[in-house]
Structure 1
Amino acid sequence: MDYTGAAVTNTKCDICGKAFVRKKNLERHMEMHAGLRNHTCHVCAKTFTQKGALNCHMKMHVDIKNYKCFTCDKEFSRECTLKSHMIIHADIKSYTCHMCGKEFRRKSNHTKHLNTHVGIKNHQCDICGKGFSHSSGLKLHVNMHAGVKNHTCDVCAKIFTQTGVLNRHMKMHVGIKNYKCCICDKEFFHKCNLVDHMITHAYIKNYTGDVCGKEFCRKSNLKTHLNTHAGIKNDKCDICGRGFAHSAGLKLHMDLHAGVKNHECCICLKTFSQKSTLKQHMETHIGVKNYKCGICGKAFTQMSGLTVHMRTHSNNKRHICGICGRDYHRKRDLGNHMSSHTGVKNHKCEVCGKAFVQKSQVKLHMDTDVGVKNHKCDICSLTFTQKSGLNRHMEIHAGITKYECDICGKGFSRNGGLKLHMNLHAGVKNHKCDVCLKTFSQKSTLVSHMEIHVGVENYKCDICGKACAQMSALKSHMNMHSNVKNHKCDICGREFNRKINFDCHMNSHAGIKNHKCDICGKAFSHSGGLKLHMDLHADIKNHKCDICGRAFSQSGGLKLHMDRHAGVKNHKCGICTKTFFWKSTLKRHIEIHAAIKNYK
């Protein structure tokens, strides 16, 4: 039996293989493959291949939803949409990707997914030109350009452009890390983060910077790095106004303001706000110095230290003090210098309570309290608490005298040494001994003098074993063993080991006797003579003869006495050749010859 518009069986599409009962349906289907969209919505201008699809679409604008889900009560404007929705409740995934094995509930999603493998991106962004395999991806992307963020986190109130990103973000609050690295066991909240992390283990760096040639594993890292070259700093600190090329840098910087230091050194227990700073700090304990100066050869543990050091060679001091005009290589040094003008001393010693302008000064001061002297002179083995002290000391060995006294011409390696020396010429003695009331022009001389009262004799002679309270006294004593007498008297020809003895001797020729006894009024040319004389008044006789037991106040008296026991007569008369034990006896004997001569 023949009917008008009878069905034509086995009508099949040559492209996708779909079969149709009627030829007219096949023709409409072919229009889909051809991309013909002759049916346009007059509300939103969206186009469709079939009139039926347009009619269903119009129901969305009218907001007529006649189809309701019996499971979740969600309403739909089209029956086909309801059917697609019901598949979700049934959890049936009938479509499987033959490339990656991923399963889908809907054929449309499966088709879109296959486009990602093939690389087909028919939907392109008009703003940045980025391509997408399906229209929904483009729609979400356009929202990013428009700044539309409709999805808000209920915990931290952070907003997102896509609901998928919000869902991934919520895992961070819950603390669920379902993705674990099989190499280092590090866990991640999101699969995409794990994929990015795996690239670091593979050491594949496909992204290279055009400016400096630095390579990166991720494109996002390259993009951030290029911002540093361009000087783009879009992330700004609300407290100090400092800008950063990426948000991670700003986040770490905010920890500095908050005082958060979660990274602790296992050796010295010092804490740091950033992990990278701790890593650099650990190199100081290990002693690794990989960064070397090409000019002077000095090595540093950190690249930043070498960068700062190179400025000293360039002599470019960009940071100038507005008060005194002094210039510095580093901004930090200028900041420390400004504290000296304001007088603010925020850094305090925990041992003695002394306050300092700079933190580095406290550290150096602590070394002096503890007595740590790690800097040793290779020439004389003298040790110092500070490297600067050793450097100044080495100038003495090198004979470098930058500062010269206008009065006596003596040279000094330091300006401070010249100032102290000028006090000697001026007779300024502001440092007084509490024990003997003796005054000194320099504090260091007073400190050395106090060791005499305490009885501390740390400096010992290697030849005779004599101990001295001061290093200067030991040096003078060593001249006696060397028998070097560089100081000679022009009047009598007598030679001396030490200049101080020579000066005292010259006073005796000039008749200068500044040291006077308070008891008998006898004067002496040097203090040593007065001291020995005072022992006579005090009847102090510490020098005893081992043979007869007789005691003497002076060692010279004992020595002469011992010559008598030994029968040594060193004093000979030039007239009659008679010898005597004592010089005083010889003088009296000479007077006899003179008296006989006068009598004749």
Structure 2
Amino acid sequence: MDVRADTPNHKCDICEKLFARKDSLKRHMDIHAGIKNYKCYTCGKESTSKNGHKRHMNVHAGVKKHNCDICGRKFSQKGTLKLHMDMHAGVQRLECEICGKGFRRRSNFRLHMDMHAGIKNHECEICGRRYCRKVDLTHHMDMHLGVKNHKCDICGKAFTWKHELKLHLDMHAGGKNYKCDICDKEFRHKSTLKIHIDIHGGIENYKCIICEKVFTGKSSLKQHMDMHAGIRNYECDICGKEYIQKSKLTVHMNIHAGVKNHECNICGMTFTSKGCLKNHMTIHNVFKNYECEICGKELSYKSTLKLHMDRHAGTKNCKCDVCGKEFIYKCKLKCHMDMHAGIKNHKCELCGKAFTLKSNLWVHIDTHKDVKNHECDICGKEFVQKTALKLHMNIHLSLKNHKCDVCGKEFIQKSKLECHIDMHAGIKNYKCELCGKGLLTKRNLERHINACWDKKSRM
């Protein structure tokens, strides 16, 4: 036997590693060239060497020959055990030059460097959001599918992300050990305190890759990215409106509940959201540089002045597609369209009656209070609504603005004209419960019922 055959005479030109056999050097050169001749038919992973392929197959087979002497954990590969032992020893072989973070695995180090470089190769097919790591994309897909594998053992609440469960468990544990020196606010996590301090310092570490807007907190950036993706995870149970942020949904629910926690310090007017109050404050704070030439009214904005002038001119640019009615203001048209759609978002808490317009609800609430602030100057009769007083004044003035197209008869009130038209059409909306006879008007029904009772008493 030639002893010299085992002498490492074959040297690699790239890394200068020595090999005893020429074919071993050839296989080693394949590693440098990235040639992978061994493929796993289970998952499709390719390996450069036969031994590497064998170790990979042990992972699928669940073979774990390498035990940790400290904690007893078992591993399929010797290299994985070695990395695990580094964890016990606190050894971090690779250090990031940008942020100083240490890594035991080269693969994790490469992914971390991709994060700094902004390289995101894994894209969500549903919303287009991109990730550095494949595992993050998998968790993201769980969110779309509604998969929640991380369950709280205390209350049973489930979460998509493991870190969400961890934060939730801290809530059960109680105790906030990290305190802000500036505002004395307390936090459960050191990382949350760090982000909070950055807010005080105005430090914006998180940048949007689409519009380059920067944020102080990671959660704020995430919500901002959801806006770009059009993801709306928070839905109103009452009207079905969807929101990106939970806080926006909370504000919206206050509108349904009629909660107005934001009060104006100047005039005392209350609002459902902080944004509405902010817009209202511009009325008090902004200079009114635009004056109406007709009535002298001063306005804050040029656009508002234009709408005001349209009112004087009677210009109505907003037209209803259903009935053709025209409006000066777009908001008035929107309310009118709600009427056609039968949408009544303003509900009375006392009797449950619903209204399309909020102003109609306010007037209706006054009927419950029996507040009659509108008095007739001629006869002294009082009314709850201003419109009711106006109709009453038409009686004194004998103004008959509502004319029948069939016979030409004129009426003071629109409701009287409608009843009259029903008469022409033969519609009898009022039915007697005693005999079943149908009547045209409520007054006729009352007379008929009295006649029925008299007839019944004589029998």
Give, in angstroms, the shift of residue 242 of structure 1.
0.6
Decide whether the 8 Å contact of 1:288 with 1:301 is kept in 2: yes
Give the AA of the match of 1:359.
Answer: L
Decide whether the 8 Å contact of 1:233 with 1:244 is kept in 2: yes
Q: Which of the residues 246, 261, 267 maps onto 2:105? A: 246
Give the AA of the match of 1:471.
Answer: N
Decide whether the 8 Å contact of 2:91 with 2:104 is kept in 1: yes
Decide whether the 8 Å contact of 1:153 with 1:170 is kept in 2: no
**Does 2:222 match 1:360?**
yes
Distance in 1, Cα, partners of 2:182 & 2:261: 26
Q: Which of the residues 193, 202, 206 maps onto 1:342? A: 202
Q: Which of the residues 17, 23, 48 maps onto 1:189? A: 48
Q: Which runs of 5+ in 2 are unaligned?
A: 287-299, 312-327, 356-360, 425-439, 445-459
**Does 2:315 match 1:453?**
no
Q: Structure 1 residues 197 and 388 mapped into 2: Cα distance closer, same or farther (>3 Å)?
A: same
Matches within 5 A, 1:339-418: 339=199, 342=202, 347=208, 358-363=220-225, 365=227, 375-377=235-237, 380=238, 383-385=241-243, 386-390=245-249, 416=273
Q: What do the CA deviations read for 1:288-314 (whole angstroms, capped 9, x no partner)?
A: 321111233222233233223323333
Name the SS of the counterpart of 1:260 in structure 2: coil
Give, in angstroms, the shift of residue 318 of structure 1.
5.5
Who is 2:164 aligned against?
Answer: 305
Name the SS of the counterpart of 2:373 in structure 1: helix
**Does 2:366 match 1:500?**
yes
Give the AA of the match of 1:342.
Answer: G
Who is 2:92 aligned against?
Answer: 233
Distance in 2, Cα, partners of 1:284 & 1:371: 11
Distance in 1, Cα, partners of 2:184 & 2:121: 40
Q: What do the CA deviations read for 1:91-134 (whole angstroms, capped 9, x no partner)?
A: xxxxxxxxxxxxxx626879xxxxxxxxxxxxxxxxxxxxxxxx
Who is 1:106 aligned against?
Answer: 2
Decide whether the 8 Å contact of 2:234 with 2:249 is kept in 1: no
- Greater RCO between the two (CA within 8 Å, min separation 6)? 2
Q: What do the CA deviations read for 1:370-402 (whole angstroms, capped 9, x no partner)?
A: 79685242xx455442444556777899x9999
Give, in angstroms, the shift of residue 238 of structure 1.
1.1
Who is 1:261 aligned against?
Answer: 120
Give, in angstroms, the shift of residue 265 of structure 1.
3.6
Who is 2:323 aligned against?
Answer: none
Distance in 1, Cα, partners of 2:177 & 2:390: 61
Q: Structure 1 residues 232 and 541 mapped into 2: Cα distance closer, same or farther (>3 Å)?
A: farther
Distance in 2, Cα, partners of 1:560 & 1:183: 81
Distance in 1, Cα, partners of 2:65 & 2:79: 12
Distance in 2, Cα, partners of 1:274 & 1:213: 29
Q: Structure 1 residues 452 and 229 mapped into 2: Cα distance closer, same or farther (>3 Å)?
A: same
Q: Structure 1 residues 193 and 342 mapped into 2: Cα distance closer, same or farther (>3 Å)?
A: same
Q: What do the CA deviations read for 1:224-257 (whole angstroms, capped 9, x no partner)?
A: 2243344332321111101123333222211212
Output the TM-score relative to the length of structure 1: 0.46
Give the AA of the match of 2:59.
Answer: T
Q: Structure 1 residues 328 and 454 mapped into 2: Cα distance closer, same or farther (>3 Å)?
A: farther
Give the AA of the match of 1:253.
Answer: H
Distance in 2, Cα, partners of 1:552 & 1:312: 69
Give, in angstroms, the shift of residue 543 of structure 1.
3.7
Matches within 5 A, 1:70-81: none
Say what the alpha-carbon RMSD is for the aligned residues: 5.9
Who is 1:586 aligned against?
Answer: none
Identify the range of structure 1 (331-340 vs 253-262) with the bigger mean alpha-carbon deviation. 331-340
Distance in 2, Cα, partners of 1:356 & 1:528: 52
Name the SS of the counterpart of 1:498 in structure 2: helix
Who is 2:148 aligned against?
Answer: 289
**Which structure would you say has the larger Rg?**
1
Q: Structure 1 residues 166 and 506 mapped into 2: Cα distance closer, same or farther (>3 Å)?
A: farther
Output the TM-score relative to the length of structure 2: 0.57
Who is 2:291 aligned against?
Answer: none
Q: Structure 1 residues 541 and 277 mapped into 2: Cα distance closer, same or farther (>3 Å)?
A: farther
Q: Percent identity?
A: 30
Distance in 2, Cα, partners of 1:195 & 1:371: 44
Decide whether the 8 Å contact of 1:272 with 1:278 is kept in 2: yes
Who is 1:272 aligned against?
Answer: 131
Q: What do the CA deviations read for 1:295-341 (whole angstroms, capped 9, x no partner)?
A: 33222233233223323333444565554343445526853773576
Who is 1:479 aligned against?
Answer: 353
Who is 2:79 aligned against?
Answer: 220
Q: What do the CA deviations read for 1:43-93 (whole angstroms, capped 9, x no partner)?
A: xxxxxxxxxxxxxxxxxxxxxxxxxxxxxxxxxxxxxxxxxxxxxxxxxxx
Give the AA of the match of 1:505.
Answer: V
Identify the range of structure 1 (258-267 vs 218-227) with the bigger mean alpha-carbon deviation. 258-267
Identify the range of structure 1 (279-288 vs 206-215) with the bigger mean alpha-carbon deviation. 206-215
Q: Which runs of 5+ in 1 are unaligned?
A: 1-104, 111-135, 138-150, 439-448, 482-486, 488-495, 512-522, 571-600
Q: Structure 1 residues 568 and 321 mapped into 2: Cα distance closer, same or farther (>3 Å)?
A: closer
Distance in 2, Cα, partners of 1:362 & 1:478: 39
Name the SS of the counterpart of 2:353 in structure 1: helix
Q: Structure 1 residues 254 and 306 mapped into 2: Cα distance closer, same or farther (>3 Å)?
A: same
Decide whether the 8 Å contact of 2:235 with 2:241 is kept in 1: yes
Residue correspondences, number: 369
Matches within 5 A, 1:77-226: 106=2, 154=14, 170-181=29-40, 184=43, 186-209=45-68, 214-226=73-85
